[in-house]
Amino acid sequence: MHVALAINGKDVTSCHSSSRVVTTHTHFDTTSHFSYLYSYVFEMCGIFAYCSFLQEKDRKTICEILVNGLSRQEYRGYDSAGIGIDGDKKGEAFFFKEVGKVAGLRKLIAESNVDTSKTFLSQVSIAHTRWATHGPPSVVNCHPLKSDPKADFMVVHNGIVTNAAALRLLLQKRGFKFESETDTEAVAILTKYIYDSQPDKRPSFTELVKTVLKELEGSFAFVFKSSHYPNEVVTARRGSPLLIGVKTEKKLKVDFVDVEFASPEGENKSMDALAPTSPGGLLVPPSGPNLLRTQSRAFMSEDGMPQPIEFFVASDAAAIIEHTKRVLYLEDDDIAHIAEGELHIHRLRRTDGPQVASQRTIETLEIELAEIMKGKFDHFMQKEIYEQPESAVNTMRGRVNFDQNVITLGGLRAYLPIIRRGRRIVFCACGTSYHSAIATRAIFEELTEIPVTVELASDFLDRKTPIFRDDVCVFVSQSGETADSILAMRYCLERGALCVGVVNTVGSTISRETHCGVHINAGPEIGVASTKAYTSQYIALLMVALQLSEDRISMMERRKQIIEGLHALPSQIKKVLDGDRSLQELATGVLANQRSLLIMGRGYQYATCLEGALKIKEISYMHSEGILAGELKHGPLALIDENMPVIIIMTQDSLYPKVQSAFSQITARKAQPIVVCCEDDQGIPSGCKTIRVPKTVDCLQGLLNIIPLQLLSYHLAVRNGFDVDFPRNL
């Protein structure tokens, strides 16, 4: 099939022309052909699709599964929600869309007059929560988006199509009418245009979607449904996460799916001979046995007979876990096709770039449904803050031998000699992950005596930072899908550096494409505030530094001191949480109605100031700024007066006298600071408002000091009536 499109006066072809899909390790600064990579955005939209085969389901049950799938992803932040299901007649589709929460969508469905008792032996339904990027929140802009009034094609989408405006202009010139302001509608209409343009040669659903994807630029995860291909669904990802859950009554015959690769002649063939992207990368799931392609293509059958099966497509494992723990993660440029109870994974033809894994392994999710529910807590964020004693233990479990003071990170073991020989360590991250790298930079330099730099991923790319083959580049990301960090990682891989991933999400892009790494094992991140991600990343990075220094006799006593501090850490975190009531009083008293807040400290506590200020501004919308106390005289001191609220972190370490000097400077200017100090510190002037925390090793103190600031941000937001779990623009 060949379709020619003219965009901005330039002839653009697909299928028989060069592919627009970007290879894994592309030079990002070479040609404009790849310029759209810089538009990668990790969106907070939620995707969910439900496909059942030989499973009799009534419409009420199907709608309930869809709505529950969306509600499990509510923490992601969104402004509207919708579902698309099969109608009463062949080729008919019903849509339910609502601005606001999933609860409103649930009510809309319940009040509708559709026949909820109608049953389907096989069906495909799709659902979506939207976070507005193109057009304001409205029913019209809500997904699923359809290609025409009859809904020949419908699409849900996470991400941004950066050439949507050009596609829209082209399609409008061809006579197509748009209802919404979204970039997604352009994709739905483009699909119909390509399908209608070849009436005598109907492509398969997969071929059609491939043709569409070759015309798209940007970041996305898609699910396509069509009346022309009943009971079939096609999903694809580039830059946004997508996974597929599989549920059967009987055990699966094999635990993998072969990738089917398009040859130059257009024939599909298996890629069994190809190696994984990251050979030796210990974060890569193990490949399954090399069975014949025909076996894996029919891996859902038992003794050649079709069996009932359900598939769940989602952007987050939280939406799938109540149905099945058996999932496979799609990789960038994967196209998955589900039909007749079988799952096939295709890829667009590659002409260059690295080889990709020949199989997608079906993995077992370790999380439980209870872990992603609020339970006794009022908000997900509050639950995550209170889970930190357990998440700290989980990060250390099986890795720290407290009897022998030994750290074992299996994912790094084979690469320790290379890391120790590195000329420098470059941390690259964004937001909270960036702060965890700053928090551990000093202990890395102390224990390894290797120079360490910490880079913001977006700035790292903007500067085209020089990277060398003997650099060790560490990419820290809770999700493992942070767009800027992924691009920076590929930039470093291209330049031959050893790349290490520190992530929470198994199967994520960073975990697959780095050479080695560490999973932080913090459990599911069910709130957007990343509270336990910070503390678990902090601990994981600290363990990396400890393992790197295990061959240094001069550091034995220091390592022992830190490991003993790690042993006491969970109980100390619980002790800080016990002081929540006084923090709530601070938020509703001293800090109530304030418009700005300064948080200052130095040394290890500078990262605490930055992270605390970030939490306060992103959750409570109060202006807050983290300040290095040593820089007070170089400008920030001008802000200090009796009306400026200040939190100063003055816990006891080697820099305690210097922070006391900063305390004197601000109190001389009539500031009335809140002092974060050690619980037994008698040197704090009487009359000062204090937040008392247990004392621990200097490099661990920030783990205890950050928790009161997390709680303050939570209480400030609740006090001001903000929705903590759905902060704006996050």
Q: Which residues are catalytic?
A: 45
Token pair belonging to 260: 């089917």
Cis ω on the peptide bond leading into residue 230 (within 30° of 0)? no
Q: Residues 7-10: contacts with CB within 8 Å, 24+ apart? A: 7/163, 7/166, 7/167, 7/170, 8/166
- For residue 689, what are its two tokens? 């408002």
Structure tokens given for 588? 């509703």
Give, rounded to a whole angstrom, the gap between the first and last alpha carbons of the chain.
42
Phi-psi region of 4 (alpha: psi -120 to 50; beta: other; left: phi over 0): beta
Among 185, 318, 300, 306, CA closest to 252: 300
Contact 162, 34 (CB under 8 A): no
Going by C-alpha positions, the residue among 566, 567, 522, 569 that lies closest to residue 542 is: 566
| Torsion 211-216-217-218 (CA) sign | negative
Of the candidates 158, 141, 122, the residue with the CA atom closest to the CA atom of residue 42: 158
The one-letter code for the residue type at 152 is D
Residue pair 144/224 in contact (Cβ under 8 Å)? The answer is no
Write out the DSSP string of 526-555: -STT-HHHHHHHHHHHHHHHHHHTTT-GGG
Q: In what order do the strands lie in the sheet with 674-678?
A: 623-628, 596-601, 646-649, 674-678, 689-693
φ/ψ region of 360 (left if φ > 0, alpha if ψ in -120 to 50, else beta) reads: beta
155 in helix, strand or coil?
A: strand
Q: How far apart are CA 69 and CA 313, in angstroms?
A: 10
CB atoms within 10 A of CB 528: 20
